[in-house]
């Protein structure tokens, strides 16, 4: 089994006396900044004036412009959207880095795909939480944490790995497990997971199930509860005890259906498509497409996003959730805050 490190395995003195600049205060940024601060570390948040700046100040953070925050920091964690990192890095981060600083990321995309080429006199590492930022924060507040991967791309000080581990511990990941990786492995597995399983695979599975039932004449409300609402409750069981515990809790009828019908839906053919998705990630084809889409101001992204938001499952879901006051969003959606950062 791979070596998994926990809270007590990690010495964090190496991060004490260092200043950490968290650049960005969105999903990951607010969680890292607050968790680091509450773990006793010296944090400055780097931002432009706007919603995130106001929020970070309301939260009691020390907020400065990106160049100022970087200039005074020893460790610079870049938590801007991936597609904006290169420009901000070139214009505001790189000119303010000093020899011996550490440049850090929560996802390896821009380093792995050579969109950011760091100077040779700084450490470069990643600490990649395997969770949405809001859960990085929420679990920390609950006294728990989410797993993180850490990896070193460049080590000029000889301290890169120990600083990365101390950082991962400070955001709460020592309570869930910290695992060593490379920028390549983190980037490729993270992109694959979100595309094929966690986000793309799941949302399409849910929509297809919903459409199959409604097109056959069943009530949309029944289809919503069956294919979306109950999913969380089933996934919670998997989270707590794996597939076995989920199958222990469901009826034997459901378990038999799982065994005989599941493979009719997700099977070798699906796996072949998954391999194609992985291959596009590995060759850089996906990254190239995403970079070009942003350069063209996201024509496809915006059109698909608009169509998806009008899907019947979203309309019926909104009405049903309004009648369940205990089901509420713990954060505003990107749409509600209009800007990109949603903290």
Ligand X SMILES: NC(=O)C1=CN([C@@H]2O[C@H](COP(=O)(O)OP(=O)(O)OC[C@H]3O[C@@H](n4cnc5c(N)ncnc54)[C@H](OP(=O)(O)O)[C@@H]3O)[C@@H](O)[C@H]2O)C=CC1
Ligand Y SMILES: CC[C@](O)(C(C)=O)C(=O)O
For 55, 112, 223, 320, 328, the CA distances from 323, given in Å and listed in that order, are 30, 46, 17, 5, 10
| 91 in a known ligand binding site | no
- CA angle 307–312–315, rounded 5-degree value: 95
Region 102-161 residues binding ligand X, contact defined as CB under 6 A: 106-107, 128-129, 132-133
How far is Cα 195 from Cα 27, in angstroms, rounded to an integer?
A: 19
Per CB under 5 A, contacts with Mg ion among 167-196 are 190, 194
Q: Does 315 appear as a known binding residue?
A: no
Question: Would you count residue 48 as binding ligand X (CB under 6 A)?
Answer: yes
- In sequence order, what are the residues at sequence separation of 6 or more whose Cβ sits closer than 8 angstroms to the Cβ of residue 227? 206, 209, 210, 213, 313
Near ligand Y by CB under 6 A: residue from 54, 194, 240, 314: 194
Give the distance from CA 163 to its chain's centroid.
21
7 annotated active-site: no
CA distance 95 to 88: 11
Residue indicated by tokens 């929020």 = 55
Restricting to residues 72-131, which ones interact with Mg ion according to CB under 5 A?
none
From 30, 107, 112, 134, active-site residue: 107
Is 317 labelled a binding residue?
A: no
Q: At its nearest, how many Å lie between ligand Y and the CB of residue 194?
A: 4
The interface partner of residue 122, options being ligand Y, ligand X, Mg ion, none and the CB cut-off 5 to 8 Å by kind, is none
Near ligand X by CB under 6 A: residue from 15, 28, 41, 181:
28
**What is the C-alpha separation between 308 and 321, in angstroms, rounded?**
18
The answer to whether the CB of 123 falls within 8 A of the CB of 157 is yes
First to last CA, the chain: 36
The conformational region for residue 321 under phi > 0 = left, psi -120 to 50 = alpha, else beta, is: alpha
CA–CA dist 136, 172 (Å, integer): 8
Residue nearest to ligand X (CB): 26
Minimum CB distance to ligand X, residue 259 (Å) = 33
Find the binder of ligand X among 10, 12, 27, 281 (CB under 6 A): 27
Residue 28 binding: pick among Mg ion, ligand X, ligand Y, none (C-beta 5-8 Å cut-off by kind): ligand X
Residue count, binding to ligand X (CB under 6 A): 28
Q: Please state whether beta strands 63-65 and 75-78 pair in parallel, antiparallel, or not at all (unpaired).
A: unpaired
Task: State how far the Cα of 45 lies from the Cα of 55, in Å rounded to an integer.
Answer: 11
Tell how far CA 220 is from the center of its chain.
Answer: 31
Q: Which residue is nearest to ligand Y (CB)?
A: 194
Angstrom distance (rounded) from CA 225 to CA 316: 10
Nearer to ligand Y, 199 or 235 (CB): 199
Q: Pick between residue 198 and residue 206 the one whose CB is nearest to ligand Y.
A: 198
132 contributes a contact to ligand Y by CB under 6 A: yes
Distance of CA 290 to the CA centre of its chain: 17
- From the list 78-86, 238-246, 259-267, 275-283, the region that binds ligand X by CB under 6 A is 78-86
Minimum distance of ligand Y from residue 216's CB (angstroms): 31
Residues binding ligand Y (CB under 6 A): 132, 190, 194, 198-199
Binding-site residue positions for substrate = 251
**Residues near Mg ion (CB under 5 A):** 190, 194
Residues at the interface with ligand X (CB under 6 A): 24-29, 47-48, 50-52, 66, 79-82, 84, 88, 106-107, 128-129, 132-133, 339-342
Binding residues for Mg(2+): 190, 194, 226, 230
Catalytic annotation, residues: 107
């Amino acid at each position: 089994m791979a070596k998994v490190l926990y809270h007590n395995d990690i010495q964090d003195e190496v991060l004490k006396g260092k200043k950490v600049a968290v650049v960005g205060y969105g999903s990951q940024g607010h969680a890292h900044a607050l968790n680091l601060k509450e773990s006793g570390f010296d944090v400055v948040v780097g931002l432009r004036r706007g919603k995130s700046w106001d929020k970070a100040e309301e939260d009691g953070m020390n907020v400065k412009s990106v160049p100022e925050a970087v200039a005074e920091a020893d460790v610079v964690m870049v938590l801007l959207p991936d597609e904006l990192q290169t420009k901000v890095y070139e214009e505001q981060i790189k000119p303010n880095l000093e020899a011996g600083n550490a440049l850090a990321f929560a996802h390896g995309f821009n380093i792995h795909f050579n969109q950011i080429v760091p100077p040779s006199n700084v450490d470069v590492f990643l600490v990649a939480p395997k969770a949405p930022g809001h859960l990085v924060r929420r679990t920390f507040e609950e006294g728990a944490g989410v797993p993180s991967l850490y990896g070193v791309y460049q080590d000029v000080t000889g301290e890169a790995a120990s600083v990365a581990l101390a950082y991962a511990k400070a955001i709460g990941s020592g309570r869930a497990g910290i695992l060593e990786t490379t920028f390549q492995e983190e980037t490729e597995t993270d992109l694959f997971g979100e595309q094929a399983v966690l986000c793309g695979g799941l949302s399409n599975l849910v929509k297809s199930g919903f459409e199959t039932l409604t097109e056959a004449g069943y009530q949309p409300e029944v289809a919503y509860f069956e294919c979306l609402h109950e999913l969380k409750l089933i996934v919670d069981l998997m989270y707590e005890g794996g597939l076995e515990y989920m199958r222990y809790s469901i009826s034997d009828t459901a378990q038999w259906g799982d065994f005989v019908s599941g493979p009719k839906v997700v099977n070798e053919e699906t796996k072949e498509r998954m391999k194609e998705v992985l291959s596009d990630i590995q060759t850089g084809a996906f990254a190239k497409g995403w970079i070009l889409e942003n350069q063209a101001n996201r024509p496809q992204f915006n059109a698909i996003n608009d169509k998806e938001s009008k899907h019947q499952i979203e309309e019926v879901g909104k009405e049903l959730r309004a009648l369940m006051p205990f089901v509420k969003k713990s954060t505003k959606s990107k749409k509600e805050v209009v800007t990109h950062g949603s903290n």
